[in-house]
């Protein structure tokens, strides 16, 4: 799992991620996600929480979501990327948010990224 600062983005522009690949740390092989039949990838941007702002853990609502299902996550080969449009991000005020990337492969769920994304007030 990757943790840390992911990016600084504008709330008035498109954000296209780089392509991420899943690499086995033991042998260096890359998982070809385009060959996985039961695949789901969901990228969420949520408000940061002090722990009990929203009640139960995991109940913080997503402010923006990209997924394979909504067409905002693509798998152009072995890796994947996402794209949020300016309209997806325009409701976010400048500040720091939680970014998560969850991948499900054949029913096995992995929190691949749990980090922060800095949103800047765009032009």
What CATH number is attached to the domain comprising 86? 2.60.40
Amino acid 58: pLDDT: 56
Provide the total of helices (H) and of strands (E) in the chain, helices listed first. 1, 10
Question: Counting Cβ atoms within 10 Å, is residue 39 exposed (0-12), middle (13-18) or buried (19+)?
Answer: middle
SS3 86: helix
pLDDT block averages, 10 residues each, the chain of length 123: 88 96 90 92 90 58 96 95 98 96 93 94 94
- In the prediction, which pLDDT does 57 show? 52
Whole-number pLDDT of residue 109: 94
Q: So what's the pLDDT on residue 82?
A: 98
Whole-number Å distance between alpha carbons of 87 and 117? 17
Number of domains composing the chain:
1
Range of the domain at 75: 2-120
**Residue 40 DSSP class:** E
pLDDT of residue 60: 86
């Amino acid at each position: 799992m990757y943790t840390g600062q992911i990016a600084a983005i504008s709330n008035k522009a498109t954000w296209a991620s780089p392509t991420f690949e899943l690499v086995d740390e033991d042998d260096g092989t890359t998982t070809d996600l385009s060959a996985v039949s039961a695949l789901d990838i969901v990228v969420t941007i949520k408000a940061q929480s002090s722990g009990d702002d929203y009640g139960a853990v995991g109940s913080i609502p997503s402010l923006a979501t990209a997924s394979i299902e909504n067409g905002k996550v693509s798998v152009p080969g072995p890796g994947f990327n996402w794209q949020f449009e300016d309209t997806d991000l325009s409701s976010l005020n400048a500040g720091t948010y939680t970014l998560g990337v969850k991948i499900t492969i054949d029913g096995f769920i992995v929190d691949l990224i749990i980090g922060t994304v800095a949103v800047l007030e765009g032009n």
